[in-house]
Amino acid sequence: MTSDRDTILSMTSDRDTILSMTSDRDTILTLLTIHSFFFKSLTILLYIQPKNITVPDNKSIELLISDRYYHIFNRGNNYNTVFFKPENYYYFLKKYYMYLSNYIDTYAYCLINNHFHFLIRTKEKIIYKNREIVDQTEIGRIIGQQFRYFFIAYSMHINIQEHRSGSLFLKNFKRVMINDEYYLKYIIFYIHYNPVKHNIVNNISSYRYSSYNSLLYKINPEIKAAEVLNGIFNSINEFADFHSHYTSEKKIKDIIIEE
């Protein structure tokens, strides 16, 4: 198959050419049905084919600055459990939104028993202590501070609940800036694919503690569903098809370093 996207699309998008081929109604309907099926299949192939993308270095802990996408992830100290009960997942999200929703937008998340993933975008400007801040570095510093406050609050709650002491999470949470549009799609898929990868569920949609269903059915106002479904992806169908068809992690293992 040619790698020239424009050539492929031009082969499949000219319905007028089909209509000019014959005046017979049944023939027209047959040709249009074939056209529609072929075009949809090619569209799926186009957006799930591997691309030449810029791969961030997941080993580094990048500085946060304003108006950027980041993959945020961390795990329990020594791979220990951080979510012990169903209510812990909801409490974690509640605290996350409380400490961070004024400073970042959330595009995807997944919480696993001993680690978590978020896709966020830092805001271009923020209000902090009744002061508008636009400096990129200062915004990043404040967001990093809010993340630390959030982790401390959640850790204190779990330490009381589990009668434990000490650090719950690794000291430095990981953050990887994302500048490539296609990699952004990979990350959203990978975040939602995590419970399948770890053999917790057999399909993405059956996992309770990720944003997949919240995005698909637009049931969580804290998640930027419209921007994900109609911006990063071109439609809700493309979002669903991408997740359905792009299920082989072999295609992304080279660009994802395990949490």
In this prediction, residue 194 has a pLDDT band, given cuts at 50, 70 and 90, of very high
- Model confidence over 132-167: pLDDT tens digits? 999 999 999 999 999 999 999 999 999 999 999 999
**Would the pLDDT of 5 be above 50?**
no
- What's the rounded Cα separation, in Å, for the pair 129 and 146? 13
- What's the rounded Cα separation, in Å, for the pair 48 and 54? 16
Q: Where are the domains of the chain?
A: 5-48, 69-251
In this prediction, residue 1 has a pLDDT band, given cuts at 50, 70 and 90, of very low
Greater confidence, 124 or 33? 124
pLDDT for the residue 62: 80
Fold of 69-251: Alpha-Beta Plaits (3.30.70)
State mean pLDDT over 122-131: 97
DSSP 3-state of 116 = strand
- What's the rounded Cα separation, in Å, for the pair 60 and 107? 22
pLDDT for the residue 171: 86
pTM above 0.85, yes or no: no
**Would the pLDDT of 3 be above 50?**
no
| Residue 181 CB partners (closer than 8 Å, separation 6+) | 232
In sequence order, what are the beta bridge partners of 127?
A: 132
Q: Which of 27-36, 160-169, 174-183 shows the lowest per-residue confidence on average (mean pLDDT)?
A: 27-36
- What's the rounded Cα separation, in Å, for the pair 167 and 177? 26
- Model confidence over 221-252: pLDDT tens digits? 999 999 999 999 999 999 999 998 765 554 55
